[in-house]
Amino acid sequence: MNPRHLVYWAVAAALIGLPAVYSQPYHLHVLVLILIWSFAYTSWSVMGRFGLVSLGHGGFMGVGAYVTALLWNHLGLSPWIGIPIALVCAGALALVVAYPCFRFRITGHYFALVTLALSGIVLQIITATRDYTGGSLGYTPERTKGSVFTALQFVEKETWYLIALAVWAGGIAIWFWIDRSMIRYAMEAISEDEDAAAAAGINVTAEKLKITVLSAVMTALAGALYCQYQMFISPDTVSGIAVSLQMVFAAVVGGIYVALGPTVGAIITILLAEMLRIGFGTKAVGWDNLVYGVLLVVFIIFLPKGILGSLLERMKSSSKR
């Protein structure tokens, strides 16, 4: 076993063992949020790294959260069944929107604008069906009277921390799995030149669809998890254009071409938001997004590979010298 693997195992053990040693509720809460959002941002960059810029992931997240909560409240379906149904719904939505886009070569700007409209439309639907979803006032899954396990409504933050950690690790594992698979080479070829890739025997539409549906399903899982953890969702926190842009922003700041980039982005953005919230209280409403917006522009102009991406690149080039 080489020392590098030893470091990985040590970090993993430290992350798993953390709540046993340290369990200050607020800090644990922030950690859970960071892990859930890291997973969402990682899901976005699974397709974003190949130049497939989707601004519709707020929509997929909203589907994940709302379908799970609606099935639980109206049909009494346990989230253990509800979440898979929600994931299928998000995957189907991704398929319906992405198939014509890819089939008819709607790429780049066009794809970004179509998906942007998608996240706006999901928000509109949630607001329009206010009789069921509570509209813009938000929605709360009913507290269970039975088993917390079947309802997936754990009270202890430690449990949620471990669940979020496992899902996040799963997301990173998927990222690496794609990194080593044929899909990666196919997608990289497609992002360079679609015609050349097609001529080389790559089924362009199918490969793009695979990665898009995977990314959408992962994002929906993040939405469902967020809903079960927070026990309150509103259209503005889990769907809509603002959430989509927030995902893109965090992923870009951290670096979309490296596995832990989105995680670094989530740590930075959530700590920033929490610090502004504590420092300025209710006066801070709007300020966090103000800072986000400026940072996003600055990063794209000066550091398009993100913080972690640029750091790793510098380390690599200095070790070569």
If one asks whether residue 304 binds other proteins (CB under 8 A), the answer comes out as yes
* Number of other CB atoms surrounding residue 313 within 10 Å: 14
If one asks whether residue 124 binds other proteins (CB under 8 A), the answer comes out as yes
Of 56 and 82, CB closest to other proteins? 56
If one asks whether residue 287 binds other proteins (CB under 8 A), the answer comes out as yes
Closest among 149, 235, 171 to 35, alpha carbons compared: 171
Which structure tokens are listed for 321?
A: 């010298």
Minimum separation from the CB atom of position 17 to other proteins (A):
38
Selected from 63, 71, 220, 241, the binder of other proteins by CB under 8 A is 241
If one asks whether residue 238 binds other proteins (CB under 8 A), the answer comes out as no
CA distance 318 to 23: 39
Of 167 and 284, CB closest to other proteins? 284
DSSP 21-41: H---HHHHHHHHHHHHHHHHH
If one asks whether residue 292 binds other proteins (CB under 8 A), the answer comes out as yes
Which stretch in 26-34, 109-117, 166-174, 205-213 sits in contact with other proteins by CB under 8 A? Answer: 109-117
If one asks whether residue 100 binds other proteins (CB under 8 A), the answer comes out as yes
If one asks whether residue 125 binds other proteins (CB under 8 A), the answer comes out as yes
Which stretch in 4-12, 15-23, 100-108, 143-151 sits in contact with other proteins by CB under 8 A? Answer: 100-108
Which structure tokens are listed for 218?
A: 């992962």
What's the Cα-to-Cα distance from 257 to each of 28, 44, 73, 82, 127, rounded to whole Å? 28, 11, 40, 33, 35
If one asks whether residue 310 binds other proteins (CB under 8 A), the answer comes out as no
Decide: residue 73, CB within 10 A, 0-12 exposed, 13-18 middle, 19+ buried.
middle
DSSP 143: P
CA 170 to chain centre: 12
Of 107 and 144, CB closest to other proteins? 107
Closest among 70, 100, 118, 74 to 219, alpha carbons compared: 118
Q: Which residues here bind other proteins, judged by CB under 8 A?
A: 51, 53, 55, 96-97, 100-101, 103-106, 108-110, 112-114, 116-118, 120-121, 123-125, 127-128, 240-242, 245-246, 248-249, 252, 285-290, 292-297, 300-301, 304
